[in-house]
């Protein structure tokens, strides 16, 4: 939930380019959740190293420049911070001798790594256009020992995009593709149930089709308004030109308006051809069914899903048999299709990545407190485009935060006091799932590297 062929599970980051119409045009071409990024006022806050990595993707020198960017970030972090751990290894799940799609992972009490692999993913062409869902391997969980040896494989009935362990019941909970399931440590599926709000799938698909068509028409209307405004400006300058030579400023304006008008008309033609197909509806429908995160509270589960009627997120509270669903949070924003939650007792922690903070809620969705701010040089703050991206609550209540693009792992007290800067995983730039885990017995930290479909392993510095 960008692999050795050109695979990306994360959505393409799109920034509004000057005018709303162009941004909206790009929106209909690609996956809908990008609007959250496009609307961010601080989208230019990406650090220079992340920008270099993104630029490399378009120049054909991705691997070389990305490696240079990672090395530069690591050196910078070592100068500014005082890490306790460093990356020493990489676990890459495989099926046979070939790497397999890695969606996410979670640690078991014995230190084994439960990796959700296989299943469906989106294949992206070099020109950054999603074409269709593919599945090269069936969905499964691969269990690896701390020594990276494959212990067992567990076949799954759906692609798991979220997983968490319930230490009280000694079971795993997984979610994905509109379903939740409970799995024993032995690998038996104890219970499976539809995720909250997905009871009427036909109605949901119908709503999605209508929304996509409404969005497209809105883009067409905005484009036509822009054409009229530019035509009027061009016409006014040409009329003025008939009576007297234009000033240098007006000449530049005429040239700029004329050029922009050609671009707007080209976008209009593309919009006319870009109809809402059934494939587009199916792709968006799949997005709405993906379980973004599962948090295990003392008496409940918290399940994060994409909303039906917009591109924000909702959090539902359900019992541990998946019943009595109640929506406790709505209109929650998350950058680039990323939204993570964890629980402590019956309280809920949210990685509020848009606002560079961690927020705590009670079981009914009442906000209790928060901590965090944006900073690239302050250990207490969070850097990159939008962080922290992922969380983990430890047994004593401490929180681990993971920052995408820059790979930072930090440990905080529940009150927000920075306890330690753990270290930096070697991950590529961009907003991605960076699930984390901590093996207390072996003092090992783990972070998901989505581009490599691998898990970074951090050990104490020597």
Whether omega for the bond prior to residue 346 falls within 30 degrees of 0, making it cis, is no
Could you report the per-residue pLDDT of 90-134, keeping only the tens digit for each?
999 999 889 999 999 999 999 999 999 998 765 544 444 444 456
User: Has residue 207 been placed in a domain?
Assistant: yes
Distant-in-sequence, close-in-space partners of 421: CB < 8 Å, separation ≥ 6: 81, 82, 83, 84, 379, 408, 409, 410, 411
Start-end of H helices in 174-314: 201-243, 248-273, 278-289
97 inside domain? no
Q: Which two tokens stand for residue 63?
A: 């691997």
Instruction: Please list the ranges in the chain whose pLDDT falls under 70.
Output: 1-80, 121-135, 199, 309
Under a CB-based contact definition with an 8 Å cutoff, are residues 104 and 10 in contact? no
Residue 143, both tokens:
């269990």
Residue 278 has a pLDDT of 83
How much helix, strand and coil, in percent to the nearest 5, is found in the chain? 30, 35, 35
> Is residue 17 domain-resident?
no
Spatial distance between the Cα atoms of 430 and 50, rounded to a whole number of angstroms: 7
Q: What is the DSSP letter of 322?
A: S
pLDDT for the residue 1:
38
Look up the domain containing 246 and give its range: 202-280
Number of domains within the chain: 1
> Would you say residue 225 lies in a domain?
yes
* Burial label, 11 (beta-carbon count in 10 A; 0-12, 13-18, 19+): buried
77 lies in a domain?
no
Assigned domain for 414 exists: no
Determine, yes or no, domain membership for 229: yes
Whether 46 contacts 405, CB under 8 Å? yes
What is residue 351's predicted lDDT score, i.e. its pLDDT?
97
pLDDT score at 182: 98
Query: Does residue 56 contact residue 78 with C-beta atoms inside 8 Å?
Result: no
Say what the pLDDT of residue 76 is.
53
Strand order in the sheet with 399-402: 390-393, 399-402, 408-412, 418-424
348: in domain = no
Predicted local distance difference test score (pLDDT) of residue 16: 32
Q: Are 380 and 367 in contact (CB under 8 A)?
A: no
């Amino acid at each position: 939930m960008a692999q050795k062929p050109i695979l990306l599970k994360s959505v393409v980051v799109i920034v509004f380019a000057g005018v709303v119409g162009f941004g909206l045009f790009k929106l209909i071409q690609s996956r809908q959740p990008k609007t959250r990024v496009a609307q961010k006022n601080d989208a230019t806050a990406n650090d220079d190293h992340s920008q270099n990595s993104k630029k490399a993707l378009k120049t054909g020198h991705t691997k070389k420049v990305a490696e240079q960017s990672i090395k530069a970030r690591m050196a910078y972090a070592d100068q500014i911070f005082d890490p306790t751990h460093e990356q020493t290894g990489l676990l890459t799940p495989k099926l046979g001798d070939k790497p397999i799609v890695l969606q996410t992972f979670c640690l078991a009490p014995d230190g084994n790594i439960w990796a959700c692999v296989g299943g469906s993913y989106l294949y992206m062409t070099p020109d950054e256009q999603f074409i269709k869902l593919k599945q090269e391997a069936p969905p499964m969980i691969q269990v690896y020992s701390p020594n990276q040896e494959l212990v067992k494989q567990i076949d799954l009935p759906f692609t798991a995009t979220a997983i968490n362990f319930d230490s009280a019941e000694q079971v795993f909970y997984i979610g994905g593709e509109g379903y939740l399931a409970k799995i024993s440590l032995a690998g038996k599926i104890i219970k499976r149930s539809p995720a909250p709000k997905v009871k009427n799938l036909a109605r949901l698909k119908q709503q999605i089709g209508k929304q996509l068509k409404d969005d497209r028409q809105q883009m067409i209307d905005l484009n036509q308004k822009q054409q009229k405004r530019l035509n009027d400006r061009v016409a006014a300058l040409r009329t003025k030109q008939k009576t007297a030579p234009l000033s240098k400023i007006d000449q530049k304006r005429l040239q700029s308006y004329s050029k922009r008008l050609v671009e707007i008309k080209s976008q209009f033609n593309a919009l006319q051809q870009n109809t809402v197909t059934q494939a587009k509806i199916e792709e968006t429908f799949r997005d709405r069914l993906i379980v973004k995160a599962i948090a295990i509270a003392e008496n409940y589960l918290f399940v994060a899903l994409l909303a039906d009627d917009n591109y924000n997120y909702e959090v539902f509270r359900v019992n541990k048999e998946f019943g009595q669903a109640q929506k406790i949070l709505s209109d929650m924003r998350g950058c680039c299709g990323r939204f993570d939650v964890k629980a402590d007792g019956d309280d809920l922690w949210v990685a509020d990545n848009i606002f560079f903070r961690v927020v705590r809620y009670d079981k009914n969705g009442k906000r209790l407190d928060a901590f965090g701010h944006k900073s690239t040089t302050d250990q207490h703050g969070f850097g990159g485009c939008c962080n922290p991206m992922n969380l983990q609550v430890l047994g004593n209540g401490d929180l681990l935060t993971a920052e995408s693009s820059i790979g930072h792992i930090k440990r905080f007290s529940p009150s927000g006091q920075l306890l330690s800067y753990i270290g930096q995983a070697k991950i590529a730039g961009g907003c991605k799932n960076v699930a984390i885990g901590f093996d207390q017995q072996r003092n090992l930290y783990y972070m998901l590297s989505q581009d490599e479909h691998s898990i970074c392993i951090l050990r104490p510095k020597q």
